[in-house]
Amino acid sequence: MPYKKASFFGTLFFTFTVSMLLKAIFVRFLLFEDINFIDTISLELSYVLLFACLIEFIANNKVKFSVYLSLNLLLSTLFFGITVYHSYFGNIPTYYALMQAGQVGAVKDSVNQLIQPEYFLFYIDFIVMAILLLTRKIPLQSKFKLSRKKLIAPILGISFAVCLANFFLHKDEIITDSAVAAESKGIFNFEALQVYYGPNGGLPQAAAFSEAELQNERTIQDKINEVKGITEIPESERNYFGAAKGRNLILIQFESMQDFPIGLKIDGKEVTPNMNKLLNNSFYFNNLYQQTGAGNTSDAEFIANTSLYPAGMVATSTFFESKAFPSMPRLLQKEGYETFTLHADKVEFWNRVELYPSLGFDKYYELDFFGKEDLIGLGPSDEVMFKKGMPLLTELRDKNKPFYAHFISMTSHHPYEIPAEKDVFELPEAYKKSIVGKYIQAISYNDMVLGKFINQLKAEGLWENSVLAFYGDHMGMHHTMFKENDPEILKELLGHEYTKIDRFNVPFVITAPGITDNGMTSDQLAGQLDMMPTLANLMGVSLNNYVHFGQDLLNHKENLIGMRYYMPAGSFFNGEVVFQPEKSFDDGEALMLETAKKVPHAPYKEDYDRILKLLGLSDQYLKSLPDK
pLDDT digits (tens, 9 = 90+) for 249-278: 999 999 999 999 999 999 999 999 999 999
**Residue 536: is its pLDDT beyond 90?**
yes
Q: What confidence tier does 202 reach under pLDDT thresholds 50, 70, 90?
A: low
Query: Which residues have a Cβ under 8 Å from the Cβ of 234 and sit 6 or more positions away?
Result: none
Say yes or no to pLDDT of 199 above 70.
Answer: no
CA angle 229, 300, 304 (to 5 degrees): 55
pLDDT band at 7 (very low <50, low <70, confident <90, very high): very low
Confidence band of 9 (pLDDT split at 50, 70, 90): very low
Tally of CA atoms within 13 A in the half-sphere of 508 that contains its CB: 28
Q: Rounded to the nearest 5°, which phi and psi values hold at 442?
A: -65, -40
- Cα dihedral: 162, 168, 169, 173 (round 10): 140
Asked if the model's pLDDT at residue 44 lies above 70, the reply is: yes
Q: Which of 366-375, 386-395, 546-555 has the lowest mean pLDDT?
A: 366-375
Q: How many angstroms separate the CA atoms of 383 and 359, rounded?
A: 26
* pLDDT (tens digit per residue) in 537-565: 999 999 998 999 999 999 999 999 999 88
Q: Is the pLDDT of residue 488 over 90?
A: yes
Q: What is the pLDDT of residue 6?
A: 42
The percent of residues above 90 in pLDDT, for the chain, comes to: 62
Q: Specify the 3-state DSSP secondary structure of 470.
A: strand
Buried b vs exposed e over 164-173: b needs ≥16 C-beta within 10 Å? eebbeebeee
H-state helical runs in 312-373: 316-319, 328-333, 352-359, 367-370
Res 484: pLDDT = 80
Position 8 pLDDT exceeds 80? no
Which range (274-278, 386-390, 523-527, 613-617) has the least confidence?
613-617
pLDDT given at position 246: 97
> Is the per-residue pLDDT at 118 higher than 70?
yes
Taking the C-alpha atoms of residue 390 and residue 378, their distance in angstroms, rounded to an integer, is: 21
Mean pLDDT confidence for 115-139: 79
Per-residue model confidence (pLDDT) at position 142: 46
Please check the confidence at residue 335 and state whether its pLDDT lies above 90.
yes
Which carries the bigger pLDDT value, residue 7 or residue 579?
579
pLDDT of residue 628: 84
Which pLDDT value is given to residue 2? 45
- Whether the pLDDT of residue 108 is over 60: the answer is no
* Residue 3 binned pLDDT confidence (cut-offs 50, 70, 90): very low
CB 577 within 8 A of CB 593: yes
pLDDT at 92: 84
Separation between Cα atoms, residue 473 and residue 181, nearest integer Å: 27
Averaged confidence pLDDT in the chain: 88
- CATH topology classification for 221-624: Alkaline Phosphatase, subunit A (3.40.720)
Under DSSP, is residue 467 helix (H, G, I), strand (E, B) or coil? Answer: strand
Does residue 111 have a pLDDT over 90?
A: no
Q: What share of the chain is helix, strand, coil (3-state, %, to 5)?
A: 50, 10, 35
CA distance 538 to 238: 10
- Is residue 533 reached through a cis peptide bond, with omega within 30 degrees of 0 on the bond before it? no
Q: What is the mean pLDDT of residues 71-76?
A: 94
Q: What's residue 1's pLDDT?
A: 39
Residue 182: pLDDT over 50: yes
Residue 594: predicted pLDDT = 92
Contact by Cβ (8 Å): 550, 228: no
Highest averaged pLDDT of the listed ranges 54-58, 537-541, 623-627:
537-541
Using only the alpha carbons of the chain, give its radius of gyration: 27
Q: How confident is the model at residue 5 (pLDDT cuts 50, 70, 90)?
A: very low
Q: What is the maximum span of the chain, computed from C-alpha positions, in angstroms? A: 93
Distance CA 75, CA 438 (A): 35
Instruction: Give the C-alpha separation, 436 to 549, whole Å.
Output: 34
User: pLDDT for 509-518, tens place per residue?
Assistant: 999 999 999 9
> For residue 4, is pLDDT > 70?
no
The pLDDT assigned to 421 comes to 87
Between CA 291 and CA 532 the distance in angstroms is 13
Counting Cα atoms < 13 Å in the Cβ hemisphere of 461 gives 6
Helix (H) or strand (E) holding 589: strand 589-592
C-alpha closest to that of 190 among 220, 154, 163, 221 = 163
User: Where does the pLDDT of residue 32 fall: very low under 50, low under 70, confident under 90, or very high at 90 and above?
Assistant: confident
Q: Where in the chain is the domain with CATH 3.40.720.10?
A: 221-624
Within 13 Å, how many C-alpha atoms sit on residue 343's CB side?
Answer: 26
Nearest to 344 by CA among 297, 280, 288: 297
Per-residue pLDDT band at 139 (split at 50, 70, 90): low
Residue predicted with more confidence, 7 or 320: 320
Q: Average pLDDT, stretch 303-314? A: 92
pLDDT at 499 over 70: yes
User: Which secondary structure element, helix H or strand E, spans residue 153, and what is its range?
Assistant: helix 153-170
Asked if 356 and 298 touch (Cβ cutoff 8 Å), the reply is: no
Report field, pTM of the whole predicted structure over 0.85: yes
Q: Give me the residues paired with residue 506 across strands.
A: 288
Average pLDDT of the segment spanning 372-392: 92
